[in-house]
A and B are shown apart, each in its own frame.
Chain A
C-alpha cells in the first residue's frame, strides 16, 4: 500500500487568470479600505464636535463695556447648569475680526462686543433660553450663540462625507463581486471538461461549487491582506508625514489605532465575499445545465 501518495487538487490552480485577478481585487480592497477609513474618521469627527459644541456657549455683550461684561460673567456663573465662565479679552475679540479687517486696520476706538465663553455642566446643562432670560432680567443686552447652527452645518457636511464614503465602499464591494463572478464564470468555462466529468460521475452541484468557492476564498484572503496591508502602509506614511493635524473638508484627519483595527477583518471579509460569490456563480451556471 502506498501511503505516501498525495492527493492533488481536483481543481488545478489557474495562475494565468489568478494573477491579474489578484491585482484587481487587491486594488479594489485598497480603495475600499481607504473609503472605510474616511467614513470612520467622519463618524469620529462628528461625535467629537457634538460633545464639544454641546458643552459650550458664547455670550456676546453688545455694549462692549468691560464692567458690564464682568457683571454678566458673575451672573452667568450663578446660573444652574453652568460649570465655568471665561471672559475673552478685547485683544482676543479683535483677533476674531482680523481675518476680515486685517491685523492693523482695527482702530482702538472701534466698539467691539466683548465675549464670555460658558462651559456647561455635563449633567443638566443650562439652556440658551435660561441664559438669555437671566441676562435680560439683569438688564444686560446680549446675544447668545449656542453653536447649534454651526454644529448643524458641520454635521451635515460630515454626513455627506460619510454617505459618499459608504457609497464608494458599496460600489467597490459590488465591483469586487462582479469581478469575482466574471472570473468564476470564465474559470468555469476554462474548466468545462473537468466540470463535465465531475458532473457525470455524480458530483453534487455543491461539491463542484465548493471547489471553486475554496479557490476564491484563498485568492480573496491573499488579495484582501495585500490591499489592506497597502492601506495600512498609506496610513503610516500619512502619520509619519505629520498629516495628523491636517484637515480635509472640515474633517480633521487623525488616523489612529481605530483605522488599523478597521483593516484587520478586511482579508477575512474579502475571502468570504470572494468565496460566496464564486459559490453562487457556479451553482447558477450549473443549474442551467442538465
Chain B
C-alpha cells in the first residue's frame, strides 16, 4: 500500500498516508486503540473498500485497474476472519465453511472430506450439521477461521479474532494462525489485545489517529 488515504463520503480522513508492505509468508500484527482505523485498513486490504487516494497492489496486481472478475479472483487468494464472524445462519457449520469452495464451482464430493477434516482440526467435528446460531462465541470464531483458511489462501486476515473467546481459546487460535503461517500463508491479525500481540514474535504495525507506524519482529521479541 502506498500513500493510502481513506475517507468515508465527505467525512474526515480516517487513514492518512498509509504505507504498508506485507512480505509473502510473514506474520504481522496490526494493533491500535478501538476506532483507530484498523478495520478500515483491513477492508482496504481484503478489497471490501477502495481507498480515496493512493495505490494498493495485491499479488502483483493493482485492484483499481482490475475488472470485477479479476477482483473476485484476487479475493479468492485472501481468507478473512471478520470481526462479527459473518456466518450464515441458514447454512450448517459444514456448509458455512464450504462456501468459498462452492462459489468457485467445486463439487460437494470434491471438498467434503477436506472440510470435515478441517472442522475436526479446529475442534468442531461434533457440530458439523449444527446451525451457527446455536454455537458459542468461541465456536463461531473457529467456524469463521475454518472458512477463512479452507481455500488455502495466500493471505489470511483476521480482525480481532480473539475478541470473543476466553484466554485459553485465544492461545489455541493463535497457535492455529502460527501453524497456517508455517504452512505458507501470510498472516495479518488486527487486535487491540497487547498481551496477545506480544505472545508471538511478529512484525507489529500500530495505527493511531489514522497514521501507521511499524515495529519489526526483532524489537517486538525484545519487548516481549
Contact = CB atoms under 8 A, between A and B. Distances in A.
Indicate, yes or no, whether A interacts with B.
yes
Contacts of B128: 2, 5
A12 B90 contact: yes
A249 interface: no
Nearest to A197: B86
Interface residues of A, number: 24
Interface in B92-106: 92, 94-95, 99-100, 102-104
A3 B151 CA distance: 21
11 contacts: A1-B113, A5-B128, A5-B129, A8-B91, A198-B103, A200-B46, A200-B47, A201-B75, A202-B151, A204-B103, A205-B69
Nearest to B104: A202
A10 interface: yes
B103 A202 contact: yes
B86 A193 contact: yes
Interface string B132-160: 00000000000000010001000000000
A277 B76 CA distance: 28
Interface SS of chain A: loop
Contact of A202 (B50, B72, B86, B108): B72
Contacts of A196: 48, 86
A203 B103 contact: yes
Interface of A: 1-3, 5, 7-8, 10, 12, 193-194, 196-205, 207, 286-287, 290
Interface residues of B, number: 34
9 tightest A-B CB contacts, nearest first: A202-B76, A203-B103, A201-B100, A202-B75, A12-B90, A204-B72, A197-B86, A202-B72, A290-B50
Given A5-B128, A8-B95, A290-B48, 20 more contacts: A1-B112, A1-B116, A2-B116, A5-B94, A5-B108, A12-B90, A193-B86, A193-B88, A197-B99, A200-B47, A200-B48, A200-B86, A201-B99, A202-B72, A202-B104, A202-B151, A203-B72, A204-B69, A205-B72, A286-B68
Nearest to B71: A290
Contacts of A3: 109, 112
Among A12, A202, A287, residue most surrounded by chain B Cβ atoms (within 10 Å): A202
